[in-house]
Amino acid sequence: MKVLVTGGTGYIGSHTVVELQQKGYEVIIVDNLSNSSIDVLDNIASITGARPMFEQFDLTDQERTKEFFNMHRDIEAIIHFAAFKAVGESVEKPLKYYRNNLDSLMNVLQGMIENGIQNIVFSSSCTVYGQPDKLPVSENSPIQKAWSPYGNTKQMSEEIISFTTDVNDIQAILLRYFNPIGAHESAKIGELPIGVPNCLMPYITQTAVGIREFLRVWGDDYPTPDGTAIRDYIHVVDLAKAHVIAIERMIENRGKKKVEIFNLGTGNGFSVMEVIKSFERSTGVKLNYQILERRLGDIVEVWSDTEYANKELGWKAEKTLDEMTLSAWKWEEALKRNSEIAK
């Protein structure tokens, strides 16, 4: 069975491709490589023994996307990751985020309608909850005003999918991620942002390895126990496995309605300082960090109620925070070794 993975050379996408291939799925990736490398394909092949099919183009290109779907009429399901994802950057460049994240989704949905593809798993986010009034957040928690254009694109995307399924033979699973970190145990794939990282974990590892002079901690005056923002961090492989389960659920027609929503997290909230301490504890490497002012778009705290996903999907996050931070460090060390060999 063929599955299209958009954004499949990216961080979460590449780990999901590995899990799909290891389950026997045929995978085709579409990615414009704006925040990833073509080398990821060889690294996936090194892990799974199979190099996924790949086409490089921008899904915001309506005509090119239409051509792609016309050429691949045997696709049975889609996992849609392709999107810009940095909260801070979205505040600075809102139109970039609206144009890219919404146009690409609508073009994919149009391709599904025109080619009879019935199944889509959408990469959503806990940012749809805004700053929740009550924690932890469940799938039934109210959708609050978004704190960033990125979060708003996820809210709008969920609505676009919902209205589209109402009038088409399409079923969807919306996976609301919390904060993925870590890397594959092989250290052959991981988070590799182009340029200065916008996310915490790669900034930590790049600081530890000497690429960055110091780690920026955005604010220590939040109303939390240590003053830094709290998030629910989840290992990227745990997250990837949930996507395979979602695909299987749709293919086997086990869904209870046309659009299903699941939170993917651990159910535990950790502060930025707790993540720093975990990294130092698991690796033995001390971090140089500086406290800066709060960053626009960042909420105070959020973590998930995972009971519904645990029970309904039969899925549960397994990795501890120390395992997450250590795996991220092993990935960074592997990158350093490979760059030294290349010299």
User: What is the average per-residue pLDDT within 212-230?
Assistant: 97
User: What is the average per-residue pLDDT within 317-343?
Assistant: 92
For the chain, give every domain's residue range. 2-182+234-264, 200-230+267-303+318-342
> In the chain, at which residue ranges do the beta strands (DSSP E only) sit?
2-6, 26-30, 53-55, 75-80, 119-125, 171-177, 179-181, 215-218, 230-231, 233-235, 259-264, 270-271, 289-292
User: What is the average per-residue pLDDT within 61-83?
Assistant: 97
Which of 180, 298, 127, 279 has its CA nearest to residue 228?
A: 298
Q: Is the model's pLDDT at 343 over the cut of 70?
A: no
Residue-wise pLDDT for 257-310, tens only, equals 999 999 999 999 999 999 999 999 999 999 999 999 998 888 899 999 999 999
Instruction: Please tell me the predicted confidence (pLDDT) of residue 341.
Output: 78
Q: Is the model's pLDDT at 342 over the cut of 80?
A: no
For 49, 112, 214, the CA distances from 123, given in Å and listed in that order, are 26, 17, 31
Instruction: Please tell me the predicted confidence (pLDDT) of residue 340.
Output: 74
Q: Is the model's pLDDT at 194 over the cut of 90?
A: no
**What is the three-class DSSP state of 16?**
helix
User: What is the average per-residue pLDDT within 231-237?
Assistant: 98
Q: Specify the CATH number of the domain 2-182+234-264.
A: 3.40.50.720
Answer yes or no: 129 catalytic: no
Percent of the chain with pLDDT over 70: 99
pTM exceeding 0.75: yes
CATH homologous superfamily of 200-230+267-303+318-342: UDP-galactose 4-epimerase, domain 1 (3.90.25.10)
Q: Write out the DSSP string of 109-128.
A: HHHHHHHT--EEEEEEEGGG
Catalytic residue among 11, 25, 150, 222: 150
Instruction: Please tell me the predicted confidence (pLDDT) of residue 46.
Output: 98
Instruction: Please tell me the predicted confidence (pLDDT) of residue 338.
Output: 85
If one counts every other C-beta atom within 10 angstroms of the C-beta of residue 24, the result is 7
pLDDT band at 87 (very low <50, low <70, confident <90, very high): confident
User: What is the average per-residue pLDDT within 103-108?
Assistant: 98
Domains 2-182+234-264 and 200-230+267-303+318-342 share a fold: no
Q: How far apart are the C-alpha atoms of 91 and 88, rounded to whole Å?
A: 5
